Structure 1
C-alpha cells in the first residue's frame, strides 16, 4: 500500500483493507458523520459493489444526544448511505447522562448500541473507522497512564466486545488520506467541535503529538511502535500459555486425582514452581486467573503487581518450618497462599452495610 499521507485511498487498496471480511453474511459500519467514518462508509460500499457476492452492509449512526446538531447529522449519514446503496439505522443513547466522564460513558454506550444493532441485523462484526492517528493517540494516552505492554500495544485489528467482533480496517491509514479520499469523491462530512475542545483528553494529546513530531514522534512512528509492542505482546502471551501448561503438567505428576477434580472451580499453582517463572509471565498468569474467577471486572495492573510482590515475598521468605500464608481479594477474586499452593477462586459476596 502507498504511504503517501496526501493520497486518496484507491479501490485496489480498499479491496485489501476489507478482504478479511468478504465471506461474512453481514457487516455493521459505525458511521458518525465525521471524515473517518464517512470514508469508511464510502470505501466499504465501493468494495462491496465490486464483489459478485459479499456481505450485506448496515451503516449505524449512534446519536448520543449531546449536541443539538446530532440528529441532523444522523439524517445526513442516512441520506449518504442510501445514495451508496447501504441500509442505515440510527441508534439513540437515551436516559440520563453522567455529569463527569462523559467521553468514556458515551463510548461505552456507543459500543453497546452498535453491538445491539449487529445482533439485530444478523452481523457478527462491527467495523469502526479508527485510523493510524487514533492508534498513535491511544498509545500516548496509555503510556502517560503507566500501562503495561499489553496496553501499549494499543488497538488490535480485531477485538471482541459485547458479544460481537470490533474490526478496524483503517488502522494503517492516516486521517489525512481519508480526507483526501472524500475530497476526490466530492463527499462532505461533519467536523465535530468536541474533537477540538481541549477540555477533553484526546484533543490535548493531539497537540502533544504535534509537538513531538519535530523530534520524530509523529503519528506514523508512534503507530509503528504500537505495532511492534503488539508483536511483543503476542509473543509473551504464547509464553504464558506454555507456562500454564508447564504448571498443569507439574501438578499432574505430583498430585493425586482427587486433588485435581476442582480445577474448573478455581486456578491453583504450586507456589515454588510459580515463583521461578519470569515476573511478566507470573503477572499475566495471575491476571488471567483473576479475570476468569473474579466478578468485579478486570483487575487494575498496579494492584495486581502489588499482589504479585506480596505473593513472591511470602513464598521466598521464611524457612521450611515456617508456614507461608497469604489471603487477599482483588477484582472479586480471592487469592490465597497456603500449604505451598496459590489458589485463585471467586471471592464471597461483599456484605452490605447494616447487614
Structure 2
C-alpha cells in the first residue's frame, strides 16, 4: 500500500488488495455503514467491474438490535449497495442480550449470521473491513490479557470460521486512507458512537494510541509487531506438527494409540521444547475435551504438573497414575511412562443415577 496514510486508494492498489479473491465464485461483504466497511463495499464493487468475469458480490448488514440508529444505517447501506448494483440483506441478532461480555457475544453472533448468509449465497468467503488500526488495537487488547504468541499474532488476513473463509483484504490499510477514498468519491458513511464509548475496552485503548505513538508505538509499528509474531507463531506450528509426527511414528509397534484418545511416550515428550510441548498438549485437550477451548494459563499449569511428575519416580505406588486431572472436558493422566489424553466422563447432575 501507499506510504501516505491519507491518500485515497487507487484502482491499481485496490486490484492488488483483492487479487487473491478473483477466482472465488461468490463473496459476501460485511458492511455496517461505517467508513471502513463502506469503503470495502465501494472498492470491491469497483474491482469487480474491472474484471471480465468476477465473483458475485452480496452485501450483508448485521443489525445487533443494540442501537435505534442501526436500522436506519442498514437502510442507507442498502441504498448505497443498490447504487453500486449489488444485492443487499439485513440480518438481525434476535433474542436476549447478555449483561456482561456484550462485545464478544455480538461478535460471535455477527460471524454466525455472516456464515449463514455466505452459505445461502454460495459464497466461499466473507470479507470484513478490518484495518491496520484494528490490528494494532487487537494486539494491545491481547497483550494486556497476557495472550501467548498465537494470540499476539492478532488477526490473520485469511482465517476459517463455521466452514467459511474470513478474508480481511484491508488489514494492511490505514483507516485514514479509507476515509480519504470515500471523501474523494463523495460517498457518505455512518458514525457509530459506540466506537468512542469508554465503557468498552477497545475505545479506551483507541484513545491511548496517540500517547503510544508519541513514544514510537504507532499503529504501523504495532501492526508490524503483530505480523512478526504471526511469522514466529507459524514457525512454532510447523515445529509442533513435526513433533506430533515424531511422537506418533515412535509409538508405532510398541504402544498403539487408543481409539478416541491420544497417548505420548512421556520421555520423548519431555525432550521437546517447552512451547512445542505446550502446543501438543493444547491440541490434544481441545481435540478430546468437550467443554470448549482450554485456557492457555490452565494448560501451562497442567504442563508444569506433568513436567514435575515426569521428572519424579518412574512408577507410582500400587501402580496408580502419577498424575490424573481433567481440563476443559478432557482427562489427562500419566501412568506407565506414558501421557494419555481422552474425553473425561460427562459430569452428572445431583439427581443423576
Please give the range of the TM-score, normalised by the shorter of the 2 chains: over 0.9
* Structure 1 residue 354, shift from structure 2 partner: 2.9
- Name the SS of the counterpart of 1:265 in structure 2: coil
Which residue of 2 is the match for residue 138 of structure 1? Answer: 138
Which residue of 1 is the match for residue 300 of structure 2? Answer: 305
Report the Cα distance in structure 1 between the residues aligned to 2:151 and 2:30, rounded to whole angstroms.
Answer: 24
Are 2:320 and 1:338 equivalent residues in the alignment?
no
Which residue of 2 is the match for residue 248 of structure 1? Answer: 248
Are 2:256 and 1:260 equivalent residues in the alignment?
yes
* TM-score normalised by L of structure 2: 0.97
Which residue of 2 is the match for residue 237 of structure 1? Answer: 237
* Structure 1 residue 316, shift from structure 2 partner: 0.2
Structure 1 segments (4+ residues) deviating >3 Å: 319-324
- Quick check: 2:314–2:336 contact (8 Å CA) kept in 1? no
- Name the SS of the counterpart of 2:228 in structure 1: helix
- Name the SS of the counterpart of 1:328 in structure 2: strand
- Quick check: 2:59–2:87 contact (8 Å CA) kept in 1? yes
- Cα RMSD of the aligned pairs, angstroms, is 1.2
* Structure 1 residue 342, shift from structure 2 partner: 0.4
For residues 48-89 of structure 1, what are the alpha-carbon distances to aligned partners after superposition, in whole Å with 9 as ceiling and x for unaligned?
000000110000000111111111100000000010011110
* TM-score normalised by L of structure 1: 0.96
Q: 1:47 to 1:310 in 2, by over 3 A?
A: same
- Quick check: 2:315–2:336 contact (8 Å CA) kept in 1? no
Which residue of 1 is the match for residue 309 of structure 2? Answer: 314
Report the Cα distance in structure 2 between the residues aligned to 1:353 and 1:33, rounded to whole angstroms.
Answer: 50
- Quick check: 2:315–2:322 contact (8 Å CA) kept in 1? no
Unaligned runs of 5+ in 2: none
One of 277, 281, 286 as aligned partner of 2:281 = 286
- Quick check: 2:262–2:341 contact (8 Å CA) kept in 1? yes
Which residue of 2 is the match for residue 178 of structure 1? Answer: 178
Aligned length in residues: 350
Which residue of 2 is the match for residue 199 of structure 1? Answer: 199
* Structure 1 residue 320, shift from structure 2 partner: 5.9
* Structure 1 residue 318, shift from structure 2 partner: 2.2
Report the Cα distance in structure 1 between the residues aligned to 2:202 and 2:166, rounded to whole angstroms.
Answer: 21
Unaligned runs of 5+ in 1: none
* Structure 1 residue 102, shift from structure 2 partner: 1.3
